[in-house]
A and B are shown apart, each in its own frame.
Chain A
Amino acid sequence: MPREDYEVVMGLEVHAELSTKTKIFCSCPTSFDAKPNTNVCPICMAMPGTLPVLNEKVVEYAVKAGLATNCEISRDSKNDRKNYFYPDTPRAYQISQYDKPLCEHGYIEIETSQGKKKIRITRIHIEDDAGKLNHDELSGGSLVDLNRAGVPLIEIVSEPDFRTIEEVDSYLKKLKSILEYIEVSDCKMQEGSFRADVNVSIRPKGSAKLGTRTEMKGMSSFRSITRAIEYEIGRQIDVIEKGGVIEQETLRWDEVSGKTFSMRDKEDAQDYRYFPEPDLVAIKLSEEYIENIRKSLPELPESRKQRYLEEYKLSEKDAGILTSSKYLSDLFEKASEICGNYKAVNNWIISDISRILNETEMDPIEIPFDAKQLAKLVTLIDKGTISSSIGKKVLEELFENPRDPEDIIKEKGWIQISDEGAIKEIVRKIIDANPQSVADYKGGKDRALGFLVGQAMKETKGKANPQMLNKMFAEELKK
C-alpha cells in the first residue's frame, strides 16, 4: 500500500516544569544550574520518615494552565503514587495524579496551512520530576544528582487528534506560548523544562480502528520532534509493509543517529501499582479560589494578537510572529514604548532577530539583550548616529555580548561620520587618488561614481554617512 494511503494518528504528552521558587513537596529551591546534590533536603532525598507537603503554588499554576487551555477544574482532586524502581526516583514512587487530575476536558485551537483546528486536551495533572543520572567517565558508573527530584511538573495529555507533523508543531508552539504567557513555566526545551512525548500510530486511511501506538521520548527541540515523528512513521509503515506488527512500546529518540530505540524489553512491562498517596490530604478547591485565578489570568496570545492588529495595524503575519512568544511580544512592546518607533522595532524582530533565532536554534526567552538595548539601537539609527548596516553589526554584537549599543559603537568606532568638513576631506582624498575613475565619470560613465563612493566607505570602514557622500561627490566632481 502506498505511503499516502496511511493515516497517521498522534497524541502528545507534554511535561512542563513549573517555575515555582521551591519544589513541589519541600522547600528546596528549583534553580537549574546548582552544583549536583545541593538543592536537596531529607524530603526530596526520600530519607526514611520524611513526608511530602504539597506546595500550594503548584496547584495554583496547574489551575492557571487548565483555565488557559479551556479545561474544567476539578473541585475534588488527589495525589497518587506511581511505583517503580530507578535511582533517579529516590522514593521508589513518583507522586502524581491518577484518576482525579486537577484539570480535564480542555482544548487548544491551532492554525496550520490546512486552517484552524481544535486539539482536545484530556487532562492536566501535577507530579514531581525525577533526579538526573550522569554518566561517570571515571568509574563507568552513574552518578545520581537529585537537584531536579521534586521539581514540580504539569503533564498535559492530549487526545489523539493530530494527523500531521505540522499540527503537532503548531500545537506545541501554541501550548508553549500559552504557558509562557501565564508565566507558569519558562518552557526552556534545552534545559528540559518543556518536554514532549509523542504517541504515534498509523492506519489505512478511512479505517476507524486505531493502530498500535508507540511512545517516543527524549526529543529536546522542535526540530528533533519533527525528525523523530518522520522517522517513526517511516519505520511503522516499513514494518507493516513487510508484513510485521507494531509492538506497543516506549522508544527513545537518539538525536545523533536519528533513530528510535526500544527503551526496555517486554519482560520488564511496568505495572506502576497506582494508589492514593496516603501521606497527602485530598485537594479541595472552592469556586472562589478558581474564580480568583480565572480573574488573574493575563492576556493570552490570541487576544494580544488581536490587539496588535487593531492598535498597531500590524500585518496578520507579523502580529502572529510577535505574539507566538510572550518574550518576543513583551520585547516588542517594551522597546516600542522606550524608543517610540514600533515599526522599526517590529522590523528588527520580524527580520533580523527572527533570522538569528532560527539560525542558532535559540528560544526567544534566551535572547541575551533587553528591550532597553534594542530601543537604543533603533534610536541610534533614527538619529543618524549609525547607519542601518552598522545597526545589523550592532545587533550581532548584542547577541554575542549584550551591552549598551552606544558603548558598542564607541568601542568599535562605528559612529557615522556626518561632519561636512570631514566628509569633504575624504571625498577630496579619494578623488585625488583615483584620477582614472574621475576621468571616466566626467567622460559620462556614471558607474564610476559608485566606485568612488565605495572607496570612500572602505576608507572610513563604513562609517561615512552614505547620503552625504553621494551628495558631496556629485558636487566636487562638477567642479
Chain B
Amino acid sequence: MNITELTVHELQDKLKNKELTVTEITKAYVDRINEKEKDVQAFITELTEEGMKQAEEIQKRIDAGEKVGELAGIPIGIKDIICTKGVKTTCASKMLENFISPYDATVMEKINAEEMIDLGKLNMDEFAMGGSTEYSYFKKTKNPWDLSRVPGGSSGGSAAAVAADMVPWALGTDTGGSVRQPASLCGIVGLKPTYGLISRYGVVAFASSLDQVGVFTKDVQDCAMLLNVVAGHDEKDTTSVDVGPKDYTKALQKDIKGLKIGIPKEFYGEGINPEVKASLEEAIAKYKEMGAEVEEFSLDIAKYALATYYIIACAEASSNLGRYDGDRYTYRAKDCKNLKEIYKKSRSEGFGAEVKRRIILGTYVLSSGYYDAYYKKAQKVRTLVMNEFHKAFEKYDVIVTPTSPTVAFKLGEKSNNPMEMYLADICTVSVNIAGLPGISVPCGVDKQGMPIGMQIIGNKFCEETIIKAAYAYEQQTKFREKYKPTFKNK
C-alpha cells in the first residue's frame, strides 16, 4: 500500500479499520515531502517536524482509548496567503518575508478544530497575482506531471503538493481562477465556492470582492468533505453568508439523469487549444451518455469578463496592498531619509514586478478623471455578467467549459508577457466576477500526457449541484486510475 497515493476518505477507512495509524500516515507524507520537494518546490515553509510531533500526540490519545475527530491526524497543506498563528505567512513576497501572523484565519481555526496536521505553507504567485506561480519571490514550483512546466497559479504550490502526493489535500484561494486553473494543470480536483460561502477573515486580501478560499483534493468526495470543514458563516466577515448547516457529501450521487447542462459556445472558440477542446467534447458526450440534457448557448458578455476582472481586481489590490509600506511588519528599505522615501523605496524593493504592475494599473483606474471610464464602467459590466449568468441558470443546472485554454505551459514561457499570462484566466474569471461556484475536474490528457481540466459552474450557493455533476463524471471516467504524474524532465 502506498499511503500517500490514497485519498482522505480512503485514509479514514484505513484509520477506522486500524490498518493505519495517524503517525504512519503523517510519517509517510513527511517522507514523501523529503523525497519530492527538491524537485517540485511547492513549500515556502515546511512544518514536517511540528507535524510529526502533533501526529504522535494524537496517536497517543487514540492509543489511550480517547475518541478523536474523523479528520484528526489527517495532513493538509495551506497556501501561504492564509494567516497561521505563530508561523510565517509570506504571500510569497519579499514584503512579508518575515511576517508572523498574531492570529489564525477563520479557516485555520476550523482546520485546527478538526486537529488536522498542517504540514506547511505552500508556494504561490506573489500576493496571488499570476497564473503560473513563477511570480513567487522565493521559488518556482514545478508541475509534477512534467517538471519543466508550471503548475499553474496562483495557488500552484497547493496544486503541485497534492498532485505530487506530498499532502492529501490543500487549501488555496481563487480570485480569478487561482484554484481551478492550477487544479486543471496538475490533474486534480479544485473547487472555488460561491463568494461568501467561506470566511475571508485571515486570508490576506488581493481583491476583496473576488477572493474566495478554495480546496484542492484528489477526488470529488474529498472535495465535499473538505468543503464541509471550511464552509460557513463567520461574524468576522460580513460578506460571508449564512446558508445554514449543509453536508456536501450528500451530493455525492452518480445518477445525473435529466441534469441540464449549458455549453457556452464562446468558451470553445478562439484561443482554446484544439486538444483541450476535443477533450471537453468527449466529456460532454459522456454526460449525454449518462442521461444529461446538453444544450449549446451564447454567453456573449463573457468576452468582457477578463477586462472587467483586471480593472476591478487591480483597483481593489491597489488599495488592499497600501498597508505594506515599510512601517511595521513589512520589509523596510535601508537608509531612508524621510517618510516618503520609506514608502517609495520599501514598496519599490519589497514588491515584485507583477504586483507593482497591478498596483499601478489599479491606482490609475481609481484616479479622479478615470474612475468613471474604468472602475465604474467595469462595475456596470460586472452587473451585466451577473445578469447573463442568472439568465443562463434559469435554463441550466450547470455550465460546462474548459478550465484553462491550454495545458500547463513551460516555465518561462509566459512570465515575461503579462498579457498572455492574463489570458490563462480567460475561462475562470467570469465565475469570480459573477460570484459563482466552480469546480475543475480532470477530464483527460493531451498527447504529451499533460492533464486537461473541465470546469463545472453552478448557480450561487448550488455547490451540491456541481459536486454531484463532477462526482458522477469522475465515477464514470476514473481519471486517477488511468493517469499519474511522472515527474519527467527533471
Point out the residues of chain A lying under 8 angstroms from B316, CB to CB.
275, 278
Contact of B102 with A92 in the complex, beta carbons under 8 Å = no
Q: Assess the A275–B201 pair: CB atoms within 8 A.
A: no
Contact indicator B238/A91 (Cβ below 8 Å): no
CB within 8 Å of B: which A48-80 residues? 48-54
A90 sits at the interface (CB 8 A):
yes
The B interface is mostly helix, strand or loop, or mixed, namely: loop
Cross-chain contact A92 with B319 (CB below 8 angstroms)? yes
What's the nearest-Cβ distance from chain B to residue A429, in Å? 76
Q: Min CB distance, B211 to chain A, in Å?
A: 9
A468 at the interface (CB under 8 A from B): no
Query: Does any Cβ of A come within 8 Å of B236's Cβ?
Result: yes
Q: Does A432 contact B (CB under 8 A)?
A: no
Is there an interface contact between B236 and A53, defined as CB atoms closer than 8 Å? yes
A42 adjacent to chain B (CB < 8 Å): yes
- Flag if B323 contacts A54 (CB, 8 Å): no
State the CA gap A81–B315 with chains docked (Å). 11
Q: Are B101 and A54 in contact (CB under 8 A)?
A: no
Segment 328-384 of B: residues with Cβ below 8 Å from A = 328-329, 339, 343, 363, 366-368, 371, 375
Judge whether A6 is part of the interface by a CB distance below 8 angstroms. no
Interface check A47, CB cutoff 8 A: yes
CB-CB under 8 A from B99, the residues of chain A are 48
Is residue A231 within 8 Å, beta carbon to beta carbon, of the partner chain? Answer: no
| Segment at the A interface, from B19-27, B202-210, B421-429 | B202-210
Taking the nearest CB of chain A, how far is it from the CB of B316, in angstroms? 6
Is A293 in contact with chain B by the CB < 8 A criterion? no
B35 at the interface (CB under 8 A from A): no
- Which single member of B105, B343, B363 contacts A49 (CB below 8 Å)? B105
- Contact (Cβ within 8 A) A275 B323: no
A439 at the B interface (CB under 8 A): no
A275 and B371 form a contact (CB under 8 A): yes
User: In residues 231-276 of chain B, which contact A (Cβ within 8 Å)?
Assistant: 235-239
For window 190-242 of B, CB contacts with A under 8 Å fall at 200-205, 207-209, 235-239
- Asked if B322 contacts A92 (CB within 8 A), the reply is yes
* Contact indicator A51/B96 (Cβ below 8 Å): no
Once A53-B235, A273-B366, A281-B239 are accepted as A-B contacts, the answer to whether A48 and B204 lie under 8 Å apart by CB is yes
How far is A251 from B367 in the complex, measured between Cα atoms in Å?
Answer: 24
Residues of B near A278 (CB, < 8 A) are 207-209, 239, 316
Provided the pairs A48-B83, A271-B367 are in contact, do residues A53 and B101 lie with their beta carbons within 8 angstroms? Answer: no
State whether A51 touches B237 (Cβ < 8 A): yes
What's the least CB distance linking B355 to chain A, in Å? 14
Q: Which residues does chain A contribute within 8 Å of B237, judged by CB atoms? A: 51, 53
B368 touches A271 (CB 8 A): yes
Closest residue on chain B to residue A268 by CB atoms: B340
Whether the Cβ atoms of A275 and B89 lie closer than 8 Å is no
Asked if A440 is an interface residue, CB under 8 A from chain B, the answer is: no
Residue of B nearest to A276 (CB): B379
User: Counting chain B CB atoms within 10 Å of each CB, which of A48, A49, A93 scores highest?
Assistant: A48
Say whether B208 contacts A279, CB under 8 Å.
yes
* B103: interface (CB < 8 Å): yes
**Chain A 271-299 interface mask (CB, 8 Å, partner B; 1/0):** 10111001111000000000000000000
B343 CB contacts on chain A under 8 angstroms:
85
* B118 contacts partner chain A, Cβ-Cβ < 8 Å: no
Q: Is B327 an interface residue (CB 8 A)?
A: yes
Cα A49 to Cα B127 in complex, Å, equals 11
Task: Tell me which of B91, B103, B325 contacts A47 (CB under 8 A).
Answer: B103
Cβ B239 vs Cβ A49 within 8 A: no
The reply to whether the CB of A29 lies closer than 8 angstroms to some CB of chain B is no
User: What residue of chain B has the Cβ atom nearest to residue A84's Cβ?
Assistant: B322
Q: Among the listed B203, B209, B325, which residue makes an inter-chain contact with A92, where contact means beta carbons less than 8 Å apart?
A: B325
Residue pair A46, B363 in contact (C-beta under 8 Å): no
Binary CB contact string for chain B from 77 to 100 against chain A (1 if under 8 A, 0 otherwise): 000001100000101000010010
Asked whether, in the complex, the Cβ of A49 is within 8 Å of the Cβ of B375, the reply is: no
Known: A42-B102, A271-B367. A280 touches B209 (CB 8 A): no
Asked if B235 and A87 make an inter-chain contact with CB atoms under 8 angstroms apart, the answer reads no
Q: For B329, what are the chain A residues with a Cβ–Cβ distance below 8 Å?
A: 47-48
User: Hey, which chain B residues are within 8 Å of A51, CB to CB?
Assistant: 200-201, 236-239
Which residues of chain A come closer than 8 Å to B82, judged between CB atoms? 49
Question: Known interface pairs A48-B101, A49-B105, A49-B205. Does A87 touch B323 (Cβ–Cβ under 8 Å)?
Answer: no
A83: Cβ under 8 A from any B Cβ: yes
Instruction: Tell whether, in the assembled complex, residue B204 and residue A49 are in contact, meaning their CB atoms are under 8 Å apart.
Output: yes
Is the pair A279, B239 in contact by a Cβ cutoff of 8 Å? yes
Using a CB–CB distance below 8 Å, which chain B residues touch chain A?
Answer: 82-83, 89, 91, 96, 99, 101-103, 105, 200-205, 207-209, 235-239, 315-316, 318-319, 322-325, 327-329, 339, 343, 363, 366-368, 371, 375
Closest 10 CB pairs of A and B: A92-B322, A273-B366, A278-B208, A278-B209, A49-B202, A48-B204, A49-B83, A49-B204, A46-B323, A92-B323
- Can you list 14 A-B contacts with CB-CB less than 8 angstroms, sorted by A residue number? A42-B101, A46-B323, A47-B103, A48-B96, A48-B99, A48-B329, A54-B238, A83-B366, A87-B327, A92-B322, A273-B318, A273-B371, A275-B371, A280-B239
Q: A48-B99, A51-B238 are in contact. List 17 more A-B contacts (CB 8 A).
A: A42-B103, A45-B328, A48-B83, A48-B91, A48-B324, A51-B237, A52-B238, A53-B236, A85-B325, A87-B339, A91-B323, A92-B319, A92-B325, A93-B322, A273-B367, A275-B371, A278-B316
